[in-house]
Chain A
């Protein structure tokens, strides 16, 4: 009797221990599953944020290609307008300021440039030193890319005017920004090595836009557009044609126009 009671107690104790071990094991498994789920959630969120960020710089189908296949070969010819902006005599300016002040001034300028570009449907492709390269018409197509780019250029000039007011109050040197705008066909797509891919536009338009920007110094104007941009602008833009000039890499002299003013209101009724 006593023996059987003992064995019963033993079985009960064993069962309790087994249950406890099972419970602990289940608890651990559940905890591990929760940790795995949390890690998955985080990885998913990170991936989605990465996708979202990538989408800012590349068309959606390119993002999908990269996600599905790891690469994208979908290069295409697109009509775009490229805007180049930079600060006049930036080297001299950088030598006269402390690194902290220089970075602060530059950041304010880049902020003004980014806002002017994105508010008018453009996309900042690159900051190169003190220069800004913006694209209108890619990654998203835009029927009014040339007009938008010139309005963005005028807006950038106005924003720099306001920024200069702030700099003056802080006894800091003011900025003088020159802008060149040119339109044409480019090849847009993802290029680079497997480790360093970027969505970009390639073509003569990019080089010519940079050359037109450098012509602003020669002509002593703030905003210069090419003859290819001119047809996209109506009477609201006050333009002045400048003498043709040879630029590096071009066999023919480049015809350009200075943008002197822009008014939202229609000034000169067109003749139909």
Chain B
């Protein structure tokens, strides 16, 4: 947890070099109107690049643009992600929110300018991101009591969880501070701020059109179903399909990552789904219990052992130590393998946090 940007001990050198993919950028710019800046650190893992792009699009239409930015900022604060915290803080500044309000939030986790309803959403988002302990049905009831609908609650939980995963992605890759932080660095930029604000609001308000139904079978399928009614459901299913069918790492590695992170966060529903996937890969129940209890098994090869040790460290962490662990973990791994594992641990963390939605059903 960081209480200001300065407090975050952030590695100066990114884990991997940025490698732009002009063809992908052209394609997403045509579809979304812009290309994610962070995606160039994720090339060539296409599903992860797409996931990052979706993360920046608006797939939670029931949540207002400012509330979305506030949720993203408090979750990034909670995760001590220098890149995301700085980016969302700048975004709020560009949207016209005063520095004082952000300071209030940083110092006392509440702000006078926010309504009780907005404040309740931020408190819930923190609980989801932190998951210590995991939020409960009573937390959902509190949101209903202040006037949120089931769909709004689902989208708040989605947003908080996806951000918790995204924070891990930026942290593990030690992505440098966002260019957004410099958006009004000189007098000319300050002068054109009203136009920038308008442009920004319009970009953030355009809702991603993902009305097509997408099914997914595998770890996370229950959450995809729980999100039905929101564009986030189809987006999550698309990302999970991409991850699950990617040939870079085996399904067994993927299922192990999801299972270990679920155990680390005490999410039984997610652990059951991952265990089901491991059974499909030929694991017996005692073998699954053994690997989740001891984080080792005679069935694992050296790479899988290394991956499990790494995955558990991403559940709760100190920023700098996690970045150092990522550097150690990266040694000897191909870029695409490293990126896929990092992407998987981030999504596993996001899904296990999002599973609060399963209580709703």
Q: Which residues of B contact A52 (CB under 8 A)?
A: 1-3, 7
Task: Give the distance in Å from the alpha carbon of A44 to the alpha carbon of B6 in the complex.
Answer: 12
Contact of B294 among A61, A234, A272 (CB under 8 A): A234
B130 contact from A60, A76, A144, A233, Cβ within 8 A: A60
Q: How far is the CA of A48 from the CA of B80 in the complex (A)?
A: 13
The interface stretch among A135-143, A196-204, A216-224 is A135-143
Q: How far is the CB of A51 from chain B (nearest CB, A)?
A: 5
A111 to nearest B CB, angstroms? 17
* Chain A 40-55: CB-based contact to B (< 8 A → 1; otherwise 0): 0000110111011001
Contact of A61 (CB < 8 Å), options: B103, B108, B130, B298? B130
A52 to B295, alpha carbons, bound, how many Å? 31
For the complex formed, measure the closest distance between the CB of A33 and the CB atoms of chain B, giving whole angstroms: 15
A266 touches B297 (CB 8 A): yes
User: How long is the Cα–Cα vector from A272 to B296 in the complex, in angstroms?
Assistant: 14
Judged by a CB distance under 8 angstroms, whether B66 is at the interface is no
Which chain B residues border A169 with CB–CB below 8 Å? none
B206 at the interface (CB under 8 A from A): no
A232 at the interface (CB under 8 A from B): yes
Stretch at the interface among B47-55, B160-168, B231-239, B283-291: B283-291
Q: Determine whether the beta carbon of B290 is less than 8 Å from that of A48.
A: no
Residue of A nearest to B263 (CB): A143
Contact pattern, A 157-182, Cβ under 8 Å of B = 1, otherwise 0:
00000000000000000000000000
Chain A, residues 61-77, CB within 8 Å of chain B (1/0): the string is: 10110011000000010
Name the B residues within 8 Å of A49 (CB-CB): 7
- Interface-central residue, A49, A64, A68, A143, by most chain B CB under 10 Å: A143
- The verdict on B25 contacting chain A, using a C-beta distance below 8 Å, is no
Minimum CB–CB distance for A235 against chain B, Å = 9
With A142-B316, A266-B297, A272-B284 in contact, is A68–B132 under 8 Å at CB?
Answer: no
Q: Does A249 contact B (CB under 8 A)?
A: no
A47-B107, A51-B3 given; 11 more Cβ-contact pairs under 8 Å: A45-B4, A47-B3, A48-B3, A48-B107, A60-B78, A144-B312, A147-B294, A234-B290, A234-B294, A270-B298, A272-B284
Query: Which positions in B face A, CB cutoff 8 Å?
Result: 1-4, 6-7, 78, 103, 106-110, 126-127, 130, 132-133, 263-264, 266, 284, 286-287, 290, 293-298, 312, 316
Enumerate 20 A-B pairs (CB-CB under 8 Å) in ascending A order. Answer: A44-B107, A48-B7, A48-B106, A49-B7, A52-B2, A52-B3, A52-B7, A64-B109, A67-B107, A67-B109, A68-B110, A76-B133, A140-B132, A141-B133, A144-B264, A144-B312, A147-B294, A234-B294, A272-B284, A272-B287
Q: Which 4 A-B pairs have the closest CB atoms?
A: A48-B3, A234-B294, A272-B286, A269-B298
